[in-house]
Amino acid sequence: MKKIIVLFLLILVYVRCSTYEEEKHLVYDKHEDTEILTLASGARVEKRGNQYVYLGDLLLSDKQLQGLGQYGDVFAFKDKSRYKGVFKPEYGIVSLRLPLESRKQLEGSYTTKVVALPQGTHWAMVRFTFDSNLNELQIAAIQRAMSELEELTNVRFYNATGEPTGNPSLGINYNYITFYSSNVNNSQIGSVGGQQIINLVSFNSKTIMHEILHALGLFHEQSRPDRDTYIDVNVVNVASENRHNFDRVTQNYLTLGAFDFNSIMLYDSYAFSINGEPTLTKKDGSVFFDNNQLSELDRSYVNTYYIPYKSNPNGTRILIDNQVYKSDNSLMTQLERDNLERKLNGEPPIWDGNGKPPMQ
């Protein structure tokens, strides 16, 4: 019996190591039929067939490609002047200094970790579908990752698999994510409108959450405009066709806190290495590795800019979950939660029993 257990454990170790090496190979090696393009703005993208990929694993919509090419900003769809400026965390949705109106007031876009996006690129409840090419184990893995995100943050998901993709009577198409089993891991950034894609070849929770967080609005941590203060990028250890994956995003950004070495959005020190030497190092020369869990700042972004809405298709009242996180990842009290729901419905707040004013 002991021999069987030992053999089983050895098999598990082998499978895990093989899976890790497979992930590294597929994610970081050069893809077939690719071309590196330098756009008019100077931004670099990778053309894979008829798709355009930015910063390693960000699929660009046509509008995002146009904005990136013209302005160097994936969210500059309109007049560039409307997409300038750095915004502060108090513009977050949950802080309610600008409650629902903040979605209209935030005409600027932000990039890098932690980010907020312009009007229309955040989700309310994330509608998603599973493609038919996913098997049961892959679907279960995605569901586990979403459950972890729901437990630790304010984001909520709605499974619309098999449901209509729009409402013809109203002339609208729903915004939703479709998960595919693919030969690469990538995602679109923010809510781009209509159907958007998350491709997965690695079905561990870390990778799935990483790609979902792109769809929620997070860029890579190493893309921060101030990253050179915290890390060195050793491009000599990166093939020339992969160096664009280490470009910085320097326009219209919001960061919460210092560089986050614990972020699930951070590449490890050996990403895209061609010689086994580190491509990313701390300023003291030390290396860092993959993070498999959400950091406090990863959570803080989602908890700042998302509200845990509950589905209420037959009612007009806006409902939210009992568990609501603040921007600092602490839970709202019941009174704070109730007043948040009341404010979302345009109702006056409740004062507490001690005569203290309600949450502003």
Residue 272 burial (10 A CB sphere; 0-12, 13-18, 19+): buried
DSSP state at residue 263: -
Residue 122 annotated as part of some ligand binding site: no
Q: 43: domain range? A: 32-77
| Confidence bin at 155 (pLDDT 50/70/90) | very high
Residues 6+ apart with CB under 8 A from 201: 23, 26, 27, 181, 182, 183, 184, 185
Tell me the pairing of strands 58-59 and 126-130: unpaired
Paired tokens of 162: 């098999």
Look at residue 123 and tell me if it is in a domain.
no
Q: Classify residue 317: in a domain, yes or no.
A: no
Q: What is the pLDDT of residues 156-204, one digit of tens each?
A: 999 999 999 988 888 888 999 999 999 999 999 888 889 999 999 999 9
pTM above 0.85, yes or no: no
Rounded to whole angstroms, how far apart are CA atoms 182 and 211? 13
Nearest CA-CA partner of 119 in 248, 221, 217? 217
Residue 231: inside a domain: yes
Query: Is the residue at 265 inside a domain?
Result: yes
More confident residue, 317 or 108: 317
Q: Which among 273, 268, 271 has a CA at the least distance from the CA of 291?
A: 268
Residue 147 within a domain:
no
Examine the fold and report which residue of 52, 77, 102 is the final residue of a domain before the chain moves on. 77
In sequence order, which residues have a C-beta less than 8 Å from that of residue 189 and are 6 or more positions away?
54, 58, 59, 60, 64, 74, 214, 215, 217, 219
C-alpha to C-alpha distances, 108 to 15, 86, 120, 244, 276, nearest whole angstrom: 46, 8, 11, 25, 40
Answer yes or no: is 352 within a domain.
Answer: no
Q: Is 31 annotated as a binding residue?
A: no
- Of 57, 77, 97, the domain-final residue: 77
**Residue 237 within a domain:** yes
Q: Which of 90, 136, 148, 211 is catalytic?
A: 211
35-93 confidence digits (pLDDT tens): 999 999 899 999 988 899 999 888 898 888 988 888 887 876 554 444 444 444 433 43
- Between 13 and 60, the higher pLDDT residue: 60
Cα 220–Cα 226–Cα 229 angle in degrees, nearest 5: 115
Going from the C-alpha of 294 to that of each of 206, 233, 246, 263, the distances in angstroms are: 8, 23, 22, 6
211 included as an active-site residue: yes
What percent of the chain is modeled with pLDDT above 90? 48
Do the strands 176-181 and 157-159 form a parallel or antiparallel pair, or are they unpaired? Answer: unpaired
CA distance 109 to 119: 8
Question: Of 11-25, 113-127, 143-157, 280-294, which gets the smallest average pLDDT?
Answer: 11-25
Amino acid 157: pLDDT: 97
Q: Is residue 180 part of a domain?
A: no
Q: How many domains does the chain have?
A: 2
Cα dihedral sign for 196, 201, 207, 208?
Answer: positive
Pick the last residue of a domain from 230, 258, 291. 291
The answer to whether the annotation marks 214 as part of a ligand binding site is yes
Q: Is 294 helix (H, G, I), strand (E, B) or coil?
A: coil
